[in-house]
Each structure stands twice: as C-alpha cells, then as structure tokens.
Structure 1
Amino acid sequence: MRFKLMNFRLPAFRFEFFIPLLSLLAVTTPLHASEELRWQQAIDHAAQAVLAIRVDAPRSFDTGINNSVQATGFVVDAEQGIVLTNRHVVQPGPTVAKGVFLNREEIKLIPIYRDPIHDFGFFKYDPKALTYNKPVALGLMPEAVQRGREIKVVGNDGGEQLSILSGTIARLDRPAPLYGRGNFNDFNTFYIQAASSTSGGSSGAPVIDIEGNVIALNAGANMRNAASFYLPLDRVVHAFKRIRDGIEITRGTLQTTFKYQPYDELKRLGLSDENEALVRAQDPAAVGLLTVAYLVPEGPADGLFEAGDILLKINDEWVRHFISLEAMLDRHVNDDISVVIERAGKQLTLMLKVQDLDEITPSRYIDVGGAILHDLSYQQARSFNIPVSGLYVAYGGYMLSNELIGRGSVITSIAGHEVNTVDEAEAVLQTISDGERFSVHFFQLVNSRQKMQRVVTMDRRWFPASSCYRDDVKGLWPCEEWPAKTLVSKPQPSTTRFVTSETPALQRMVQSLVRVNFDMPYVVEGITETRYTGAGLLIDIERGWVLVDRDTVPTTLGDVTIIFAGSLEVPGHVEFVHPQHNFAMVSYDPTLIGDTPVRNVTFSDEPLAPGDDVWLIGSKMNHKLISHKTTVAEIDMLSLPLPSVPRYRATNLEVISLTSQANTVGGVLTDKDGAVQALWSSFGYQRNNKFGSMVVGVPVEVVLDQLRWQQQALSSAITRTMASELNFVPLNEARKRGLDNEWALTMEAHDSETRHVLQVIRVAAGSPAAAVLEGGDLILAIDGHVVTTFLEVERAAQQAALKVTLLRGGEILEVNLQTVPLDGVGLKRFVSWAGAIFHRQQREIAAQRGWDDDGLYVSWIWKGSPAAHYGVYPTGRLTELEGVAIRDLDGFVTRLHEIAGLASVRVKMISLNGKETMLTLKLDNQYWPPFELRDDGEHGWQRAGISPE
C-alpha cells in the first residue's frame, strides 16, 4: 500500500507563538539568573547580621513564664551593638540571653528595651567582645513594603541556626494576631501577612526584599496553615533612632483598643458624608478610619469614649491610621489632648489626658515564699477587661500555691490591708513573721467577679524574700533581700472536742484518729507531687507520736500539720520515714492541744483471715469520720508497677482487700470493740507516667515490731534487710524449676494454704546480696528455717549474717548473706546549683534500677535555669565536675568553691540506662546562686548560701 504524503505546515499563530517564546527565553534566562544572584547577595548580606538567640527567662513575669527558648535577632547598629528582635523574645521580665552569629561566635546580649504594646524589643552587645566576626547592620525600610512583593525570612527557624523561607506579601492590613487571653497580644497596629510557613525559632527574624532591606519583622504564624505574620517597622524605626541617639522613649496611651473599619461599616456606625469626603480627599488610597473597639475600665478614656466611636482628629490633626495615632500619643505623654470623634452621626470634641505607658508596665517584683508578685500590667488588664490595679501573681510558688492562689490571680488585700501596688504589698508582707498566718483576698483573671479569700502561712524558711527591679543599663534585675524576721511566737494551747458516735467501734477510735497534711517546698527523691493529706493514728499521746502512711508523708522534707477533730490545727515534725514499709512517724507538741481528749490506739493480737468481719474506720476528705462494716475478701501480695522515676515503692508486703469499702483517705480496720487489726493505708504508685494511689489494708503485725521499738527509744538503724525484692511463685512452678519432692512436701507442711515459694525479682546494686543472689532464685529457708512469707523473711533478716538456702538452676545452694542496716532518717540535705537540685542517691535507684551509689542524683531542674538550658536532666546522676569525680555532697560543695571563678564548667552526667554525657554549663549566679538546705536535727531545716570563698 502506498501512502500519500500530505502537505503539513504549522498554522501561522503557532509559528508566531514559538518565535516570541524563544526570544523571551533568550532574554529572561539571564534576567532570572540576575534575580537569583541579587537574592543570593541579599541573603548573604543579611546572614552576616542575623543571630540565633538563646534566651533564658529565669522568672515568670507578667505574660511570660520561666523558660528557655530559641529565637532570632539581627544587628541594626554594628558600632553600638544594637540587635532588633521581638518583644516576646526580650521578655517582659528577667532575661539572660546570648547570640550566636553565622560563624558560631557567641556573644552576650543585654536586654535594653521591650515595647509595652508592640512585639519588638532590642538587645545590646559589646562589639569589642567579638573576635572573629564583624557583623553588618541591616537597614530598616518600612516604606518598601507592598502587596505582591517577594520576600525572604532569614532566621533560626526550628532552632536550625540559619534557615531561609520565601513568601509573597499578601496583606498589609491584617489585624494583629491573637495569641490568647493571658498571653502577650499586640494591638493598635496592622500586621503584614505572607505564606512563608515560619515556625518556632524564627521569631525576630528580618523580612528582607531583593535589595537586602528589612521591610518587616517576623513575629508569629498560624499553626494550622502556612500564614506568617510580620510587624510593620514604622514605630520600630522611631524607637531605634531614639535608642541609638540616647534619647528616652516615651510611650503614651488612652487605655483604648482601636479597630480599623472600612467606609461601608463606618457609614453604618454614623460617619457623615461630609467627613467621609474630607478624609477621602486627603488620602484617596485609604479605605477606612479607626474606631473605638473597647476600653479598659477606669482608664483615661473610660466614661468618655464609647465602643463604636469613630476617631477623626487629635489636636486638630486628622488621624487616619494607627501610625499617626501612636505618634500623636507618644508626643503628648501626661498632656491633655483634644479628640474629635463621631458618634452615631454626631461630632463630639473630648478632652483626655494621655497616660504614660511606663506607669502601667511593671518593672519590679517581689519574691516571697517562692511566689513572684508584681503590679498588674496593662497587657493583662486589657485581656480580661479589668482596671489596671492590684497585685498580680506571676508565679504562686510554695507559699501561695499551697492555698490554691496560683498564676493568673490578682491579690487585692493582705492581712486586712488593701493593696493596689507591689509597693503597698511589700510594706505589709515585711511585717509578717515566718510561720505567721494572714488573710489574702484575691480573684482570678478568668473570673474577676468571684472574690475569694484564703488564709496563708508566711514562709521565710524555705525561700528567701527579696525585692527586685529592672535595670536597663545593666540589663539585669538586681534584688535586695528583706530584713530577717524572727520566728512567730509559739502557738497558744487550744482545745477541741471529738464527735460522738453510736457505733462502738467508731466511738472507740474517734479520739485516736487525726488528719495529717504534708506540704513539700521542693521536689526531692523522685517525689514530684507536693501536697498530701491522709489519716493519722495516735500511738503515743505523751510524746505526740502519730503513725501515717508514706502516701501522706513520703519524705522528711516538708511542713507537717496535724488536725484534731476537724477543728484544731497544730504544727508537726517528721520523726522518721520507714525505708521499706509504707508508714512514717510524725509528732506534735502535746501541750498545744490543751485538754483535747485524745487517747492511744489499741492494737489487736488477732491476725485477720479471709472471711473475717471488720469495721473500716476512715477519714473522708471533708474530715468526717465514717464506720463501715465489711468482710475481708483476701490477703495477697502487693504488686505495684515499677515507676519511670525512681521513688519510694512498697514491696515485699501482703495486703488486705475487702468485699466492700467506703471512699476514704485512710484509716484502720478494727474488730467490733475498736481494737486495730490492720492499717487502712494509701499506697502511691506510677503507671504509664501517671501517678495514682490505692487504699488497702496492712496487717498490723507488719508494723508492731517497729512500733514496740519506737515506743522505747529512737535509734539510727530501725531495720535490717536482705536488699532484695521478692514475689510469690506457685509451688507447681517451683517443681518445674527442679524443686524436689522432699522440699515440696516440706514447703506444703510449713504453709498448707498458700502453697507458694518466694522468688528473688531484683537485688539492690552494691549490696552484699548482689554478690550472692540472682533474679529467679527461689528462697527456701533462712538459717535452717523454712520461709514462705515476707514477714518471715523480714524477721529473719534482723540478724547481721544469714545462711540462705535457695534453688537456682535446679540445684539447691546455700549462701552466706550479710544483711544491710537501714535507718529512717531520710533526706537531710540537698544542694541547689545552676538551677538544679542535687542530693545523695535514694536507695530506690539501686533497688529498682540496679545502679550502685555513684555520684549525686538530680531530682529537679527549674525552667529558665542554666541546668535546663544546657541539658542537665532530672533522674540523671552527676559524677564529675570540671574533671574531678563527685562522690558526695561534701565533695560537691568543696568543688564548687574551687571552681567559683569559672564562667563555664564541664559536667559529666550518667542516665538511668548508663549513658554518659559531657555537658558544658555557663553559670548564672545572679538569678541562680548556689545554696544548701540542711536539717541539723536541733533547729530543723536551715537554708544557707554557698559563697565563692
């Protein structure tokens, strides 16, 4: 088949299209390359001025919280070392910052200005301190910003030191982003918007154009999309020039939030045709005017402005946008101004006085009882629509948090004195002695109409009290400690009466049960909860001894309060905490309860068994005592999960469960006559990183030996232990592992009901048992006596040396085991350094994690501290400081004296899984001076600073 060749030619429009396209490519390719080169030059230039900023906020203050963050800044004056960034980076309160240039040279940054309204601030560095870097200064050009302009954001996005994000300016009139009530929020300004997907770390980054000019300041972003928000630079330039020239920055306010409204909305609000024509003629590009959005109560404009008022003129000058408004207010601080508004079609002239923004921007705070208090700020008052008056709780600390007065509260009265300022509060608080109680009236910002009252106990023992103020020259907040106050006089004796009950068991116990509260000022020994309450049992009214569980008093460090009959409170003291079992002993001064009719509890010698009837006598949260008749369901091994953080965990114990029980915080199980057969105790535990508690019965024979000894005299060692955690293995399982028939019959004869064998689960590292016992060993006998219960093992272990018969790998072995003496002294000392708490390793680390006593345990770090900044972590162990091994607190304190002159130190840490890490810390003794807390036995806990000498 033949094919006919068809004549084919391109249509004219196709041909004509290709010719211009080829020509365009020929022309634009070098243009595109030129544009890329210009961008590269602009980015390279900007990168030389950009710093990755690392900020530590050591104290919560106003809208900021103590924390360590990363951000961006850039040099705007290389000769003076002035760096521009965001206000939320500079922080409203104390700030410690450093900047890292692109060549990784680090420089100290001093905060010199944070704007009270807008999200910009300035740091300063010493240019002479730079050795390897000569940064350039970026020029600020707010007039260059325009819709559709391509931009680059050069910053420390995501903490990556340098990142470059692209975008196109989409809006010039976006409302200021809202970050939530109680947080810093910008207002009375437009924001610029582009889709550049900035994230954490880019705050304070320059937004540059292709010429390398900074046209905006990156400030925030929408977490749900790519939108980023930039602050216009008009007022930034104004402030920068004054800082550069050494001129004070004045900021004025009417305590009014304005909103830009378009003309169509303004017409509905009552804008006259005449005024609209006048405004449009002056600025044809404008599309609206400012209106009053809302006012702060009792501010300069309260009662004069109304929401919806249209702002026309100030001092006969037209005000068409935020920039001219702020310029006018800043020029007339403390002056009266004439303001022309239009309200519902009527033009009004009002006289207002411009307030100094510095007057309503806090610049000092007091630190008392661990709480941070300062004047309520305009930022917070505006967010919650309340007057700028009162004492703001930036951090509740120990003293106030104990009474549920936390961050976000505003105190209006202290000890019967009205307080509106921090100065007034300081004058009152300095008259109150340590341990003295005083009333506090307050409200919470989220519900300012609900007034509340609490009785607070002054604390000058656990935390020092001081007054601090902002010094913008030095960039610090120096503090002056308050004069020491004598301890409050000893409480006077008081008397109360117990309720009566028709239930014999309850009536017998009502005078022997009390409520015990325990508050911890610091996190130690893995115990992160700080408030506890539970039932206490009077065991020696002559000495004032009260038995409690360790879920009520978990450690020795804290304040004890004992409450009688739900009426009378007296202070207490921790006598000891049992190192193994779930009980502790606290005491009170018996003279303080006057003629209150208390009596010692009576213990029963009859052990409980499943099916026995008992009376649960317990204390409810409202202090009411209840009686509940029930039955013992079973007695079985207590099995609590291993906590992720080493802390006290009850082991080697059989506990009682009931067929039914009432909801209580603790109590006792008694017979019908009120004789105690078991403690109804709360056990704390941790599962899946969540803390919980369970209440079960503890047979009284577990603690009777200890109580009899305790009645006689105190001793340093209260028990001995095999340093091993045990559990039960069924007898049939033991046979599978090689237990012969003779031994099996012997075990059955010894305990015919339970039919189990004791198994070693884990052995404490560093103990004698670690050398002779292994996990999986089955304990058969001790010193020739068969043992099948925890109590039998415990009683046998009170000897210094034991001969243990065990089954291992199918073989019967006999090993000699030295027991370990344990005391109930508990924690008696810790050292705080670099914002972390260090103390001796609690025995739970060896028992639960298998680590020997090596180094100091890190129990806590404060956010915003050098420890937090440089990676010191709780549960870690400090084993070496600046090349010297650290074994104990004495060696640690000695080493701190030796390295006192060093600005940074090397620290070796070991994690719970044995991973070693070498860290470097830059110290900050201004906000985190080292101190020691010690219980000397005679005067109780005493705090002392660790001086460099």
Structure 2
Amino acid sequence: MTIDFNKAGDITESYSWSTLQDRLRDSIVSTNSSVAVSFDTTSSTLTNATGFVVDAENGIILSNRHVMSAGPSSHKATFFNNQEVPLQPFYYDPEHDFAFFRYDPAELKGIKPRAIKLVPEKARSGLEIRVIGNNSREKMSVHQGELSQLDRNVPEYRDSAYESYNDMNTFYYQSSTSSKEGSSGSPVVDVAGDAVAINSGGNFYSSSSFFLPLQRVKYAFEFVRQGKIPPRGTLQTVFHHQSHVKAELLGLTTELAASEGIDKENSTGVLTVKKVVPKGPADGVLKVGDIVVSVNGTVVTGFPELFEIIDGAVGQNVSLRVFRNHEFTTVNATVQDIYQVTPTRALRLGNSILHELSFQEAAARGSTAVTGIKINNDYNGMFSSADLGRRRVITEINYKPIPNMDALIQLLQIVHYDEPLVVKVRDFKEPRDEAVIVAHFPQVARPNALFTRSLETGFWSIEPLKLPLTHSPKLDAVEAEFSINEDNPENSAILSTASDIAARIQQCSVWIEARPICPANGYNAAHARGTGLVVDPQRGLILCSSRLAKNPTSNISVTFGAMRISASLAYIHPLYPFAFVKYDPALVDCTIPKLELSRPSSRLDVGDSVNIVTGTQSGLVCSTAAVSERCMLSTYACKWCLEQRFFNIEQFSLSPLPAQVGSDIGLVCSNDAIQGLWLCLPTCLHCNTICKNVGIDISLIRPSLVQLQTSDNIPAAPRVLDVEFKHQSLAEARALGVSSSYIKYLQKLSTAAQPILSVNRILRVRSPEIPSLEVGDIILQVNNCHVKHMDEVACFDTSEVELLIIRKGQEMTITIPTAPLCDANIRKVICWAGMYLQEPFHTVLHQSVRLASNVYMFMFDSGTPAMAESYHDNMFVVEIGENAIYTLDEVAQVAKLLKDPKQTGFNADIAENKGFRSGTVPGRDVKIRVVLVNGDEVVKSIRTNDHYYPAWQLVRGPRIDDKWVYKAI
C-alpha cells in the first residue's frame, strides 16, 4: 500500500503490519541519559530507553519523564543508522510521565525521520497495536498486543527507601506485550502508524504493560513546538477513578447520578478525591472521599475532562460540584500554577544534595505540605551521621523555619563553619516521624554550588555558592601528661586491678567519626565510626582500628566527652590493621591521663592470663581471659573492590571472648602494662562479612608510634619480601628437609607450637634476574639470626636481607632485595570524567599481572561519562587521547589540555536562555587505553562533560597534620 505524507512529514494513511517497522524505523531513536545529580524522584544513574520523533522539522522527540529525569542530566539519541546526536532536555511534565527532547535536524546525515502523529482519540478497547522500541537495549524490538483496559488507575511502582517516580491524576492503558526495560518511551501505534499512547511501565511478575494516554501529551506538544511552556494547573489533590458500583456504595445512586447529568452509558465510573495535600489550594475545600460531579458546570467523569479545565484556569477560581455525605455541594478553589511547586534549584552543601520538596513527592509518595528542603542525596554528606533516608525533609535549622531554598541560603550567611547545626527533619511519607539531629560541615568537601534549571531551555546552570562561613574562637589549651613504660622500672605505673585499668582507659577513650570525601584505596563505604585511644595527648595522637581509616581521604572528627573537634588521619599502617589520628591538643579542655605500654620485647604467650577492656560509645566493659592460641592472620581481597588485605601477621585469640566482640578497639593488659590490642578488622560491603576481632602484640604498634612522636612527616613505608608466609608443622618441616638438630633446637623454645615458616604464595613476581623466594621455601635464619616469630620476617628497614632457607630439600643461603610496601597513606586522588584515579595500593599489585602504569582506576561515579562507556573498573590507565600516561601528574596535565573552550560562559548563556539548542554541553570525545588487572588491554571512547563533571583533584601535603585540599583542574 502506498503511504502519503503531509508537509510536516506526518504519516497519514494506514498500511500493513509487515511494512510498519520499515516505515517507522527512522522515527524511533534510542535514548541514552546520564543523570548527574540526584534530584526529586531520580538518582544519579544511566538510563537507556526509547523515544520517537513527533516533529521532524523542529527536531522534537517524545519520551518519558523518568527517562529524561527531573535533575541535571545530559542526553543523546541514536537513530536507526547508528548516528548519534546530542539532545536538549527541553521539557518534562511536572506531573505526568512524558517529556520532550530537542535535537538539531541539521546534524543528521543520511537519514530523514518522519514525524509520528499523536492521535489519542483513536484509542479504544480491543485496538490492535504495536510497541516499537529498544526492549532490553535491543534495537527496534516490536511487541504486539491489544488495548485491553483504557480506564486503569496509575500503576503503583516500587515503594522503598529509594523512591522512584510515580504518575498520578491520569488514566493508564493496559495491554499484554511483555515489554521490559529499554522500551520506556516507545510509541504505541496502530496499523496507520499513528501513536495512540506511550509505553511507560510494566509488571515484572506478568506480561502486563502500562501505557500513558496522549490527551495531556498532545496538549503540551502544541506549546512545545512553539517554544513555549505549557500552562499546567493543580489543586494539589490526587484523584482516583472509581466504578459506578463503588460510587453507589458511597451513596451516589443511579437516580442521583442521572439528576446531575452523569450518564452511565457513556462512562465507566466517576472521580473521587484520594488525597488532599495539606496547605494546598484544595485544603479545607475538598475532602477525601468526595465524588467530583462537575467543574465550572461541565460534567466530568474522567481525568481528561477534569484537567482540560484545570490547565485552562491557572490562577483562577473554579467551582466544583461534589457529592459528600449523601448530598451535593458546591465548593470553590483557586487553581495553582504547578510550576510553583516544582523545584528548579538544587544545592550541593557539604557533599549533600538538597532541594525544595516537590508536589510530585509530597502527593504521590506522602501526604504532607509542599514545604521544606528535601535531603535527596546524603551519601557521606554533612547529615550522614544521622543515617537519614531519602524521605527526610528539613523544616528547621537552629530553631528557625526553613520553608524554601531562599530561607536556607539566607540562614547559611550567619552560621559558623565549625559549629554544629541543630536540624529538625520529618519524613514526608509519615509526617509524625520527626527527629532533631546535629549536623556538622565537613572539613573538606566539593565546593558548595547552586544548580538552577532554565524552564525555557531545560539546561541547568551551575554557580558556586560562596558562603561567609567563619570559624568560632579556639578553646583555651590544657596541658596533659604522657609517658611510655620503657625498660627502666622506675617509669612504670602499676595498673593493679581491672577497675583501675577501666577507669584510666575510660578517660583515654574517644569517639571517632570518619566521612570519606571521595573514593580511595578501593573503598567508598559510608561514614565509619568507632572508638579510639589517646596514646599521646601532648602530640595529639589517637590509636584506632584501620576499620575507621579504610578510606584515607576521610574527614575525621573526634569527640572528647561533650566536646567534638576536627582531626586528621595521621597514618595508616600498610601492613597491620591499625591507624593513628592526629588532633590539636590546644582544642581539648580536659586532662588526658597517661597509658603505660609494655616493654618492646614483651610478648603474650599461650596460657597467659590477661584483662581485656573493650567498649563502644556507651561505655566500657572489663573482663578477664587467657591467650588460647597464636596463629597466622590471613584475609582475602574482594574481587570487586580489591580492598586492603592483611597477611604475615601473627594474631592471638582469647578465651572466653570479650563481651563486646564488635568493639573497634580494646586493650589487652597484664598486671603491669598494656601488652596487646583487640582490634576490629575492616570489612567489605560486597562480601557481607561479619566484623572480626583479632589480638595483636603491642610491639607491632610501637615503631610507628615512636616515629610519629619524633617527626611531623609520614613514616616511611616498611620494606617486605613480597611473599605470604604460613606456619609449617615440625613433622612436615622434617619431611621437607629441615635437619633434626634444628628441630630439636626449636622444640626447646617455650613458644614453639608451630614455629617453622614457609612461603605460601608469591605476592608480586619479580624479574628473573633478581633473586627471590619460591613457594615452599622454609625460612630458618634472617641475617644470621634464628627465626622464632612471624614479626621477624614481616617487614624490614634495610634494602636487602640474608636468608638461610630450605629449598627442595637443600639448605642454602641467599641474599634477597626487599621492596617497599605500597603506602596506604595516599596524598592525591584525581577525578576525571567521573573516574577516580590514584596510585595503586599493594592489594592491586598482588592481584595484577603487570604494573602497566602508576595510574589506577578503581571506581567511577554513577551517571558519569566513565560509567556510560566503561564496563570495567580495577584497571590501569595507560593512554588518554594520544598522550601516554604513567603518573597522576600526567593525567592532570592532559585533563587541562582537554578542557572544552565552550565551557567559558556556558552558565551565563543558560541564565540568558541561550543554551545550545541541540543540548551540546562542553566536552570532547576522547579515546582512552586501559589495562585490566588480568592483563587484558581495552580501548574505549569517552565523551567528557566539563559542565556537570569537571576534572578535579584532592591533594594533601607530606606532614601528618596536613589537611586535604580540593583543587579544580
């Protein structure tokens, strides 16, 4: 059959289903959206869906609102010939699930799409339809079906802590087409190729698909094609469609309905009031359960008639006749402009994303007034210590009401940076769920910025929000005492009883909170908190578990009783599971007592009786136990994040276990001094491992503590043999070639249960020319000294060591060079195109086939260019563009060269409604070459986005009390 097209390129005649796909394929596009900032009902993410051309001359594409997202985002469309064009997110409906993109028709080459007409009046029950889109990212998937229901109420999508968009106040069509993700935004067409609906959702537990009718879409389209904003009104009320049978149960009999002109023959039901938003235009006017009969004298039995009137009466009074309490009554309400309750600004403050609560969330997800500031994304932000969900709304700060963004910005002009904020929040789904929390500005964070959406262009401008945040005056300094119990007995203070130990430790215990600034060392976990022990109050040194320092970029705060001060992460030991935090002693207004550490040569042995003091923020628990076992500690790296693992550590176990097994840090004390630590090991979120506590000797901590007490610089990384050891039984050692005389010598040692050490695994392969250990080698001596403990071969301070070993049954002496252990105390992280780059840490080198470069990418942010094009993390970057990359400094230099000059003035253009019509934001297409951990080489192309994802770096000086500094590249 021949098909004719009108001047605008609209399909006008019907044809067979067999040719439908060929005729429409140039009009269907695949949409790719990168959501930069969590906003309203969407989170930062990537979406792949469908759109279709509705105006070929002006380059207008129709898709879903949830495809475009309400927040800052960038988009592109891929046509059938695989040509990609950038999209301008021109308009999304503030209530319904549709949106319009724009592209520049001049950018298309070799393809001429024809507009698909919007014909909502064709929809009828039983109509045979086709859904043409990109189902599950498969291009041009076609699903057939029939419209089975035209008056379905809106589907209720997931209801969880991370709320998604949900439509309201409209009918939905239903059909069994089995369309899945990727088909969102697909046209629902009849045999003539006209769109009768748009695919919006589905039921994963059945084959049902849900389509949005086109009445309000077509209404908005007439304004959009003229470059205007469609007038949209609201009563801040959610209506629900009920059958006539349900209406009779509510008292509206057939006779009463007929008296008001409600004809059952031409309608399937009536509209009832489901929800009235407090303080809205209909609050006190309409009531839940009211049956709407007519508006301004026009009988309404469905959503299209009702909202045709409301959209045409913005700012005007409307007269609603409703059935309530078995009688008819007339009420009046003023129609509000829905754009007034649709937020267009977002504030990044202290790493949190805040914006005004929208009518969409207040009505569809809750039953609360459209007022207050929603905490949309607080991952590692300034409110994260309170563990708030995404349904929380700020109503007060420092006892002052915060109804909107202007009130929040005004309040921020008068607060101190280092003073706590008293914040009152409520759950907008459960208004009675209120809480008062204390929030703190982080020491270091991404710059505060205000995102503003232009209604005329759809683009978001980003302007720095400069706040006059000042510091409060410092407290008076109080001097404290400290001493280490060395070999001189006169320096030792006897801790004779368990209660005395607990009393002293209670005064030395502090509460530590760590909030990561950005991902680092393979970690991007939420903020960590736990206990620490002040070990040097004069220097301001606190000992804690490395669980609190998994991410070295963290903002650290320390609480002394009723005082909270900022601190810095002084040192993370790269091999052992402990760390030191540094604070300014001048800020502490209390006296910290001294703690006595055991002599360097002291060591706990099996059978020793000890006192253990453990606890949490709520208090300490003191108990007695005995050392039950000494064995090797070995953990394994997660294959996803390659977090720090621990090896070559000899731990001790206690029996019975301390009462507070999950305590971050505890002290193991004998009658005269502290001899060990009871530490909680870091856990990995991917593995869902249970927190494990281990005991380690205090002798492992002493060298690091002494270095921190005598120098302001980071201690040098220890040198290791790059192998993992294990204990070997004496019987196995004899079979492997250890002499009987050496075994008899070991049996005389009081600590010798399993004293033989052998090589279990080679961690990093060395060049064949360099002498190295082999798997199975048994270590007998180090530098002519017999090996009695694991500590003697774990790490060294010399460039080489002489070893007496047993290899293949033969005794031999070899000299092996040591290698510096990769330092966990990184001083720089670069974020480029959304990917986080740093120097590789030791777990990466142990898992990698080769060190391709000194630039390691372990993570990327959601919705970023890196996520859009990269399906791998844990890789080495070796080339960006045509530039070879080996160091982080080279990455920074290349990032500067790749800056798009269009970025200058882009914000100003948006503010003046001069944003690029096609949606091109500053950025470049860049080829990158990477090497995966397994050695595979991959080449990718990334489209950078200098507007939403500018390059930046986080740097820190070499001193232990240096702070992290954020710098734009």
Instruction: Go from structure 1 to structure 2 and tell me whether the alpha carbon gap of 1:501 and 1:459 turns closer, same or farther (over 3 Å shift).
Output: same
Paired residue for 1:395?
377
92-101 or 260-269, which moves further after superposition?
260-269
Note if 1:677 corresponds to 2:659. no
**Distance 1:651-1:284 versus aligned 2 partners, 3 A rule:** same
Q: Does the residue aligned with 1:434 lie in a helix, a strand or coil?
A: coil
Map of 2:194 onto structure 1: 213
> Does the CA-based 8 Å contact 1:841-1:853 persist in structure 2?
no
Q: How does 1:481-496 map to 2 (within 5 A)?
A: 481-483=464-466, 485=468, 487-493=470-476
**TM-superposed deviation, 1:60:** 0.7
1:264 counterpart residue number:
245
Paired position in structure 1 for 2:532: 536
Which residue in 1 is equivalent to 2:586? 591
Q: Which residue of 2 aligns with 1:449?
A: 432
SS in 2 for 1:210: coil
Which runs of 5 or more structure 1 residues have no equivalent in the other structure? 1-34
Residue in structure 2 matching 1:609, options 582, 605, 611: 605
Taking a change above 3 Å as real, the CA distance of residues 92 and 125 of structure 1, as seen in their structure-2 partners, is same
Matched, 1:804 2:817: no
Find 1:190's aligned residue among 167, 171, 193. Answer: 171
Aligned equivalents of 2:308, 2:819: Cα separation in 1: 77
User: Contact 1:602 / 1:676 at 8 angstroms: preserved in 2?
Assistant: yes
SS in 2 for 1:529: coil
Deviation at 1:518, TM superposition (A): 2.3
Note closer, same or farther for the CA distance 1:893–1:718 as it changes in structure 2 (3 Å cut).
closer
How do 1:728-877 and structure 2 match up within 5 A? 728-745=727-744, 747-748=746-747, 753-765=752-764, 771-794=771-794, 797-821=796-820, 826-849=825-848, 851-852=850-851, 854-871=853-870, 873-877=872-876
Select the structure of larger CA radius of gyration. Answer: 1
Distance in 1 (CA, whole Å) between partners of 2:497 and 2:232 is 69
Deviation by residue 1:751-777 (Cα, 9 ceiling, x = unmatched): 772244212233343668975122332
The answer to whether 1:943 aligns with 2:966 is yes
Contact 2:14 2:191 in 1 (8 A): no
The correspondence of residues 269-280 of structure 1 with structure 2, limited to 5 A, is 269-271=250-252, 273-277=254-258
Quick check: 2:524–2:551 contact (8 Å CA) kept in 1?
Answer: no
CA distance in 2, matches of 1:501, 1:279: 89
The CA deviation string for residues 532-558 of structure 1, in whole angstroms up to 9 with x for no partner, is 233333332221222222122235322
Does structure 1 residue 567 correspond to structure 2 residue 565? no
Work out whether residues 90 and 459 of structure 2, in 8 Å CA contact, stay in contact via their aligned partners in 1: no
- 1:137 equivalent in alignment to 2:133: no
**Matched residue type, 1:81:** G
**Distance in 1 separating the partners of 2:389 and 2:478:** 33
Give 1:113 deviation, angstroms: 1.1
| Rounded Cα–Cα distance in structure 2 between residues aligned with 1:210 and 1:824 | 67
CA deviation vs aligned residue, 1:675-704 (integer Å, no higher than 9, x gap): 101112122244972244322221122223
Q: Are the aligned partners of 1:652 and 1:790 in contact in 2 as well (CA < 8 Å)?
A: yes
- Residue equivalent to 1:662: 659
User: Could you tell me which amino acid in structure 2 is paired with residue 410 of structure 1?
Assistant: V
Closer, same or farther: CA 535–275 of 1 in aligned 2, 3 Å: closer
What runs of 5+ residues in structure 2 fail to find an aligned partner? 1-12, 482-495, 901-922
Residue 527 (str. 1) matches residue 523 (str. 2)? yes
Shift of 1:931: 0.5
Residue type at the aligned position of 1:250: P
Task: Give the letter aligned to residue 935 of structure 2.
Answer: G
> Does structure 2 retain, via aligned residues, the 8 Å contact 1:576–1:824?
no
Distance 1:687 1:727 in 2: 27
Q: 1:154 aligns with which of 109, 132, 145?
A: 132
Which residue number corresponds to residue 98 of structure 1? 76
2:345 maps to which residue?
364
The number of residue pairs the alignment matches comes to: 907
Matched-pair contact (CA < 8 Å) for 2:238–2:276: yes
User: Which shows bigger deviation, 656-665 or 719-728?
Assistant: 719-728
Distance 1:343 1:687, change over 3 A: closer
- Structure 1 stretch displaced more, 138-147 or 197-206: 138-147
Amino acid at match of 2:501: A
Q: Do the aligned partners of residues 463 and 126 (structure 1) sit closer, same or farther apart at CA in structure 2, a change above 3 Å counting? A: same
Task: Give 2:56's match in structure 1, choosing from 64, 70, 78.
Answer: 78
TM-score (norm 1): 0.91
Q: 1:475 aligns with which of 441, 458, 461?
A: 458
Identity %: 29
Render the CA deviation track for 1:79-110: whole Å, top value 9, x for unaligned.
Answer: 00000111111211112111111111111111
The CA deviation at 1:44 is 1.6
* Cα RMSD, aligned residues only: 2.7
Q: Which residue of 1 aligns with 2:397?
A: 414
Contact 1:86-1:119 at 8 Å conserved across structures: yes
Change (3 A) 1:446 1:189: closer
Structure 2 vs 1, CA of residues 257 and 161 (structure 1 numbering), >3 Å: closer, same or farther?
same
Question: Counterpart of 1:897 in 2: which secondary structure?
Answer: helix
CA distance in 2, matches of 1:882, 1:771: 39
Aligned-partner SS, 2:935 = coil
Question: Offset at 1:510?
Answer: 3.5
Compared with structure 1, are the counterparts of its residues 772 and 374 closer, same or farther at alpha carbon in structure 2 (3 Å cutoff)?
same
Structure 1 residue aligned with 2:92:
114
Q: Structure 1 CA distance, aligned partners of 2:468 and 2:307? A: 48
Segment of structure 1 superposing worse, 195-204 or 837-846: 837-846
1:293 aligned to 274, 277, 282, which one?
274
- State the Cα distance separating 1:527 from its structure 2 match: 2.0
The 1:379–1:677 alpha-carbon spacing in structure 2 relative to 1, beyond 3 Å, is same
Pair 1:339 & 2:320 matched: yes
State yes or no: 1:319 paired with 2:300: yes
| TM-score relative to the length of structure 2 | 0.89
Tell me how far 1:458 sits from its aligned partner: 1.6
For 2:742 and 2:394, locate their aligned partners in 1 and report how far apart those are by CA, in whole Å: 72
| Residue 379 of structure 1 pairs with residue 360 of structure 2 | yes
Measured in 2, the distance between the counterparts of 1:459 and 1:563 equals 15
* Equivalent residue in structure 1 for 2:27, among 43, 49, 53: 49
Which residue identity lines up with residue 592 of structure 1 in the other structure? L
Summarize deviations over 1:703-729 as a string: whole Å, max 9, x none. Answer: 234434443335652533223221112
Q: Is residue 643–residue 684 contact of structure 2 (8 Å, CA) maintained in 1?
A: no
Q: Name the CA distance, whole Å, in 1 between partners of 2:924 and 2:735.
A: 63
CA contact (8 A) 2:179 2:207 kept: yes
CA distance in 2 between counterparts of 1:215 and 1:896 reads 48
Look up the SS of the partner of 1:359 in the other structure: helix
Letter in 1 for 2:524: T
Q: CA deviation at 1:829?
A: 0.5
The amino acid that maps onto 2:565 is V
Shift in Å at residue 607 of structure 1?
A: 2.3
Matched, 1:547 2:528: no
Report which structure shows greater RCO (CA 8 Å, sep ≥6): 2
Aligned-residue offset at 1:251? 0.7
Aligned-partner Cα distance in 1 for 2:173–2:355: 33
Secondary structure in 1 matching 2:305: helix
Hey, what's the Cα distance between the residues in 2 that align with 1:490 and 1:780? 60
CA distance in 1, matches of 2:696, 2:105: 69
| Alignment of structure 1 residues 346-361 onto 2, 5 Å | 346-361=327-342
The farther-off stretch of 882-891 and 256-265 is: 256-265
The verdict on how the C-alpha distance between 1:296 and 1:784 changes in structure 2, with shifts beyond 3 A counting, is same
**Contact 2:834–2:866, Cα closer than 8 Å, also in 1:** yes
- CA-CA distance at 1:667 after TM superposition: 1.6
